[in-house]
A and B are shown apart, each in its own frame.
Chain A
Amino acid sequence: MSTALAAPALDRAGVDVAAKPRGAITRSRIALWAGVTIIALVALSTLVAHVASIGQPDRIDLLNPLAAPSLAHPFGTDGLGRDLFLRTIYASGLDLEVGVITTALPLVIGMMLGLLSGFFGGWVDAIVMRAMDALLAFPFIVLIISFVTIFGVGLTGIYVGLTVATVPYFARLTRGEMLVLREQQFMMAARTLGYSSRRIVFKHALPHLIRPNLVFVPSNILLNILTVAALSYLGLGVQPPQPEWGAIIGEGQQYLLTAWWVSTLPGLFVVLVGIGFSLTGEGLAERLRLRTG
């Protein structure tokens, strides 16, 4: 046994690849890269548009309302003659930002809460998890609307509401994983070495908990983006004239029969971004699952 190991068989990548099914690898890799590419393109286009101030998304052209898609206006124009393609691209910045921030903050907060809850158990666990249950008892959108009511219509309420409403998902996920992890022998071994609880939680347990949480991140960004769009559609979120996907689609509703493109093309764009995040999430999950074996 020891002689076989003594041979320089340290090719870690080689060992791993041999153990994995090839087809699944390729598929997950394609999914991941396709997803990342879509998101990157959308993010890049909005960044460039914002930084270089390309076009004027809010410029009203009353002589040219509800123009059909053309080379000059790829998505056509809305009821006020504003270029829909430009507005959609500009809106990506806001939507991605809200999606990422309202996922990143709850990721960190939720992981901390779940970590403490799962590791220490007892009354810490009881208090934290009852609080999370209380938040989960509200329907997602109702909880956010209540925050919008508190902070007034606009972005602040959406940021706070989405963050608060998302924390329980990460907290629960982390706590569950932590409960499994706590019983593992290497956690016991770490304690016999005299390590502090803090060291065990952050240096020994945390690396195991990042992976399951990470898989959940892309789908959660998507979920939150769609929630923002839904709120704006309902008129509770971003206020005109600031471009936002949900608001654009909502405004186009009245023209559905006469000018289908006003709602449909920005809608398809949102679907594309959604597919991008879904592919990323799926590819990530598959790859991380394969790696764990």
Chain B
Amino acid sequence: MSVEPDIATRPSADARREGEDGRPPVLSVDGLRVEFPSEQGLVRAATNVRFEVGHGRTLGIVGESGCGKSVTLRALCGLVPEPGRMVAGTVCVEGRPHRTAKALETLRGRKLSMIFQDPASSLNPVRSIGSQVSEVLRVSLDRPHAAARSEAIELLDHVGIPHPAQRMSAYPHELSGGMRQRVMIAMAIASRPQVLLADEPTTALDVTTQEQILQLLARLQEESGMAIILVTHDLGVIEEVCDEVVVMYAGYVVERGSVEEITRSPMHPYTQGLIAAMPQLDAAHEPLLMHGQPPDLSTLEPGCPFMPRCPKARSGCAQIDMQTLTTTACACPFATERLLTAAGGASSPDS
């Protein structure tokens, strides 16, 4: 693993907040905290989450299952599943702050829309594709019936559905997974949202379809300039479509940076573990499995939550303050130190 000394400070993480074109981020989250009461105690599904995404940019949220990625995404549109609650945090969309789930509700279907992992269950099985797509246009954009219908056909055509006029009367079960996801995308972009939230949009699809859907999203983004927040556990997808990445673990953002920074020179031991666990086509790299599982969020000890699984854990790890560290580029205070020694040639962190 090649390591450059200057990335230790990673200035880009803050510099990019303004966006490349100098405009403020279209969406920024600060201090987001989501909690679920449970019999075992309070489950902190997301703690002090902060990130931002600029116009026309794609932010990836990556992590294992149960690390708070999806919950974070749902919180953005005020839809934390029961009995969970967004207890703190500010979501700014186009500079306008929203502090409660109720306030975020007004953004749905207008500024924000969402696509889901399983397109088979995200469409209403008893209603035709056409009625579902034109409904979005009627509700969000107040289109009259006939106009909504013709516009729906255009939309379906736009997302690459062949014979869109005939498809209007088809039911979801008559379409393939990829086609259903295209319909979902058509519905999500119908209201021309500023931000598209994508919750593992390609996980349930086969690899070739996955590729097509990612290309479609990239094309739509280019045309409309919407921002995309993509939740996935597939680093390959992240590498392909994202500009920036945040890595989540146990409800904390443990590392953030540009996609190059995260994939080429990860600093946090968890990110390094994720990347090492990725299968590579060349035989030189055997995927290295990370041992253990993400911790039980109801019995989280203070200190670094990754410590029990961390190959580089040391005595200081139990004392670190995650609350402040999660807003920095890397939540591991020892990463910088290690990188500097590595650059000095004393020892390699991976040896």
Could you tell me which A residues sit within 8 Å of B by CB distance? 1-2, 4-6, 8, 10, 12, 15, 121, 184-186, 188-195, 199, 203-204, 207-208
Contact = CB atoms under 8 A, between A and B. Distances in A.
B238 interface: no
Contacts of A1: 176-179, 206, 208-209
A192 B140 contact: no
A8 to B, nearest CB: 7
A291 to B, nearest CB: 10
8 contacts: A1-B178, A1-B179, A2-B178, A5-B179, A192-B77, A193-B187, A194-B108, A199-B139
B247 interface: no
Contacts of B166: 8, 10
B233 to A, nearest CB: 18
A10 B110 contact: no
Interface residues of B, number: 45
Interface string B165-197: 010001100111111000010011001000001
A193 B140 contact: yes
B126 A208 contact: yes
Given A193-B113, A193-B187, A194-B140, A2 B124 contact: no
B137 to A, nearest CB: 11
Interface of B: 77, 79, 82, 105, 107-110, 112-114, 116, 118, 121-127, 135-136, 139-140, 160, 162-163, 166, 170-171, 174-179, 184, 187-188, 191, 197, 206, 208-209, 212
B219 to A, nearest CB: 15
Given A2-B162, A6-B163, A185-B121, A192 B135 contact: no
* 3 nearest A-B residue pairs (beta carbon): A194-B109, A194-B108, A192-B114
Nearest to A185: B121
Contact of B179 (A2, A10, A204): A2
B110 A186 contact: no
Interface of A is mostly: helix
Nearest to B112: A192
Contacts of A184: 121
Contacts of B206: 1
Given A1-B208, A8-B166, A194-B108, 20 more contacts: A1-B176, A1-B178, A1-B206, A4-B176, A5-B162, A5-B176, A8-B163, A12-B171, A15-B174, A184-B121, A188-B79, A188-B116, A192-B79, A192-B109, A192-B112, A193-B109, A193-B136, A193-B191, A195-B139, A204-B124
A191 B114 CA distance: 10
A182 to B, nearest CB: 9
A195 B121 contact: no
Contacts of B209: 1
B116 A185 contact: yes
Contacts of B135: 203
B344 to A, nearest CB: 50
A186 B109 contact: no
Nearest to B177: A1
A189 B176 contact: no
Nearest to B81: A188
A10 B124 contact: no
